[in-house]
């Protein structure tokens, strides 16, 4: 696939997301809620699309598509698609589509779901806190699990052809910023982070990539490296020897490991509190009429089934200090 066809495919994906709305908010809704701000990019039958509303659409794109929309061609395609979406909304409004029972029911369902989601997110974020003491305790009890071999930290720019990779090298030699070029040109998921792959040990990456990365000096940039994924330009941003990683190096990973349990505790407490304070009744006879297997019945083994001992509980998950294979 040529670079041109890749760009066209990505532009099509960007346009599809813009057509249906990345953030679930149509242009006419923005107009009703608040006066659009920023310079006007387009006027659509009395409605304006502003720089600010365009930027919001850009921010709502998935990370892997944002670099594609950074190009002049991508921006124009996205703006044209936003215009088409607004024209569709205006025609649909004339036809009274938004007032049909089916659409009203769907909108009501969506509103309820969004309200519940926003409420739970607010409560969980307010109450699910991980203290420094908890993280330090976790670290002290699991130090051996943070032991790693020699590691390097690298960023890369991945492109489809050797010519593109050489063009990247030429831009870097001319003073181009590696992170910005990665965001603009790289075709993998790390592009949104400036190509940053984080820390990794030997065996984490494909051999051709790994061999070059571990032979580099910190702060240097490689030549063109070919792998089955395409052509890479690598920048080595760090090196560290084998050993147990310090608390400061892994505290973010520890927080990531502990936080889901905290969030579950908050959610369970919220449910319990609501059940205690709320007023509700369950019509057991109606519920029973819906059918289904009772808990007791589901626990009884079938006559021809083999009864096996329960598996021991899995050990607590601890985040790995390595990146997955690329």
| pLDDT exceeds cutoff 80 at 318 | no
Nearest to 188 by CA among 244, 229, 228, 150: 229
> Please, which pLDDT band fits residue 323 given cuts at 50, 70 and 90?
very low
Comparing 317 with 4, which gets the higher pLDDT?
Answer: 4
Give the domain ranges of the chain.
3-99, 107-144+246-284+315-321, 150-241
Mean pLDDT along residues 47-52: 91
Q: Which CATH number fits domain 150-241: 3.90.1150.200, 2.70.150.10, 3.10.50.40, 1.10.3720.10?
A: 3.10.50.40
* pLDDT tens profile 51-108: 999 888 888 888 767 767 777 888 888 899 999 999 999 999 999 998 999 999 999 9
17 band by pLDDT with thresholds 50, 70 and 90: low
Q: Is the pLDDT of residue 10 over 80?
A: no
The top-scoring range by mean pLDDT among 35-44, 57-66, 262-271 is 262-271
Report the distance separating Cα 145 and Cα 244, nearest Å: 8
Q: Measuring CA to CA, which residue among 135, 172, 248, 184 is closest to residue 3?
A: 184
Name the percent of the chain lying above pLDDT 70. 78
Cα-flanking dihedrals φ and ψ of residue 241, to 5°? -80, 170
Q: Residue 49: left if φ>0, alpha if ψ -120 to 50, beta else—which one? A: beta
Tell me the C-alpha distance between 162 and 210, whole Å. Answer: 19
C-alpha torsion sign, points 225, 227, 232, 238: negative
Residue 26 has pLDDT above 50, yes or no: no
Looking at the DSSP bridge assignments, the partners of residue 230 are 227
Residue 324: pLDDT band by 50, 70, 90 thresholds?
A: very low
Give the per-residue pLDDT at 146.
Answer: 92
Cβ–Cβ < 8 Å for 325, 205: yes
Q: Give 274-313 pLDDT, tens digit per residue.
A: 999 999 999 999 999 998 876 666 665 554 444 333 333 3
At 292 the pLDDT is 80
Sequence-distant (≥ 6) Cβ neighbours of residue 110 within 8 angstroms? 24
pLDDT of residue 303: 47
């Amino acid at each position: 696939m040529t670079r041109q066809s890749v760009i066209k495919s990505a532009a099509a994906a960007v346009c599809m997301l813009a057509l249906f709305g990345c953030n679930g908010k149509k242009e006419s809704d923005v107009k009703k809620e608040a006066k659009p701000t920023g310079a006007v990019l387009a006027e659509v039958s009395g409605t304006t699309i502003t720089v600010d509303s365009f930027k919001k659409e850009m921010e709502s794109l998935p990370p892997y598509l944002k670099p594609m929309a950074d190009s002049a061609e991508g921006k124009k395609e996205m703006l044209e698609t936003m215009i088409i979406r607004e024209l569709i909304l205006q025609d649909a409004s004339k036809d009274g589509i938004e007032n049909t029972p089916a659409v009203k029911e769907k909108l009501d369902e969506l509103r309820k779901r969004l309200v519940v989601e926003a409420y739970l997110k607010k409560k969980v974020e307010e109450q699910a806190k991980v203290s420094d003491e908890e993280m330090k305790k976790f670290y002290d009890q699991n130090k051996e699990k943070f032991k790693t071999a020699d590691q390097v930290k690298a960023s890369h720019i991945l492109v489809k052809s050797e010519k593109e990779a050489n063009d990247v090298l030429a831009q870097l030699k001319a003073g181009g910023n590696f992170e910005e070029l990665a965001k603009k040109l790289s075709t993998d998921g790390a592009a949104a982070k400036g190509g940053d792959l984080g820390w990794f040990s030997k065996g984490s990456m494909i051999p051709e990539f790994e061999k070059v990365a571990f032979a580099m000096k910190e702060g240097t940039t490689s030549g063109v490296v070919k792998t089955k994924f395409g052509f890479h330009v690598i920048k080595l941003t760090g090196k560290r020897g084998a050993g147990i990683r310090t608390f400061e190096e892994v505290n973010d990973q520890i927080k990531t490991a502990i936080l889901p349990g905290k969030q579950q505790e908050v959610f369970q407490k919220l449910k319990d509190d609501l059940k205690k304070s709320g007023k509700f009744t369950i019509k057991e006879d109606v519920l029973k009429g819906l059918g289904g297997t009772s808990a007791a019945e589901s626990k009884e083994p079938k006559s021809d089934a083999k009864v096996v001992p329960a598996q021991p509980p899995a050990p607590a998950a601890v985040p790995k200090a390595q990146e997955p294979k690329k």
